[in-house]
Amino acid sequence: MNFVTFSFNLGLLAIILSAVPFVTRRSECFGVNVGTKLSYSNQLLRWKRQYLLLMGSFAAVFFLFAWIIPWFLGILIFYLVFSFGLYLIYHFRTKSWKKKQIANGNLKEQATVIVEASGDKEESILPSWYYFVLFFLFLLTLFLTFMLYKQAPAKFPAYWKLNGVFEIEKDKTPVSASIWPASQFFTILTFLGIHLTIRKSKRIIDLDDPDISLERMKRANALYSRFMFGISLLMVSFFGFLQCSFLLNWSWTTVRVGSILLWLFLLIAFFWLTFFVGQGGSRLKVMGIRRERKMVQKDDHYWKLGIFYFNRLDPALFIEKRFGIGWTVNLARPIIWLILLIVLVIAGIKQFFFS
């Protein structure tokens, strides 16, 4: 890793991690359910700004340190550890602050959990059969590889950098010629898994503002499902483009330009999803009557450190994160550990045979 790559990675991490408290669901703050109304309190807003300032300041310090001592990977890891430690400080502060609000009568907890039971959530999400398009592109790439294998160059690139440069080449074999079709296949499995997670995850409606929360969640899930399919279609098509460029010996300039354009587009798309949609549609503008009652779900004890969800009474496997964008798993369900084991085995197979 050179200094330019390090600077890019550090800057990207700093922007994303600093923005997390502002793009999480409106009713949640540092992994604690505080309700929609109290989320706008001066104290919580002050802590969010402090978190943003500290994350940005320490990123600048680490950047200057790396300029003197080039421990690039170690500095990135330490920055991640620092961000987690800083999060924990504000997490426990928020929990303590919430207890005081309950004691003062500004907030009430209720054990009832509202979930969406209608079929509307299925209608708003993209149908699963769309992913057959990706499997068709994968099979088309395999067919072209089989037909053009003999006339392909004697070397196949095996290591692809973000700037489109290929540093490692392998002798042409059926395995080395299958690297990019294999990448297509694993990409399809990954995004199909994300799609099913969106489809099957539990969607909790905020007690203090249920109508607005429900509408925001429906719009967000519709956007999430279409966004993920669009990204998966783009990546599978691009891996097919890479395979054709090697089989037909296309210009390296074309490959590099395509690679750079791909990553720029993915970066812009990710920032759009983060800052204009947010977790659970927290950044979406939804019209309606805001109730903002003093009532929240009594479920903080199921969220260990506000990050890890562990609830033996909940049959749901997937649930939206409380801090950040995306979904997490219910670690109390044994099948989750089996799924994680299968994922690790598949990743190991790809690393062993196709890296």
Judge whether residue 157 has pLDDT over 60.
yes
CB contact set of 182 (below 8 Å; sequence gap of 6+): 350, 353, 354
Judge whether residue 294 has pLDDT over 70.
no
Task: Give the residue ranges of DSSP H helices in 201-290.
Answer: 210-247, 252-272
Spans of all domains in the chain: 1-108, 115-297
Judge whether residue 288 has pLDDT over 80.
no
What would the pLDDT profile of 99-121 be if each residue is shown by its tens digit?
888 888 777 766 655 555 444 45
Q: What's the N-to-C CA distance of the chain in angstroms? A: 19
Which range in 26-35, 75-84, 117-126, 203-212 is most confidently predicted, on average pLDDT? 75-84
What would the pLDDT profile of 72-93 be if each residue is shown by its tens digit?
888 999 999 999 999 999 999 9
How many CA within 13 A on the CB side of residue 301? 6
Q: What angle do CA 193, 199, 201 make, to 5 degrees?
A: 90
pTM: 0.78
Bridge-based pairing of strands 318-320 and 114-115 is unpaired
Which pLDDT score, from 0 to 100, does residue 44 have? Answer: 92
Judge whether residue 354 has pLDDT over 70.
no
**Distance of alpha carbon 205 from alpha carbon 285, whole angstroms:** 17
| pLDDT class of 293 with cuts at 50, 70, 90 | low
Which pLDDT score, from 0 to 100, does residue 118 have? Answer: 47
Find where tokens 């983060």 sit: 274
How many CA within 13 A on the CB side of residue 116? 25
**Distance of alpha carbon 17 from alpha carbon 63, whole angstroms:** 16
Joined tokens for residue 167? 């540093």
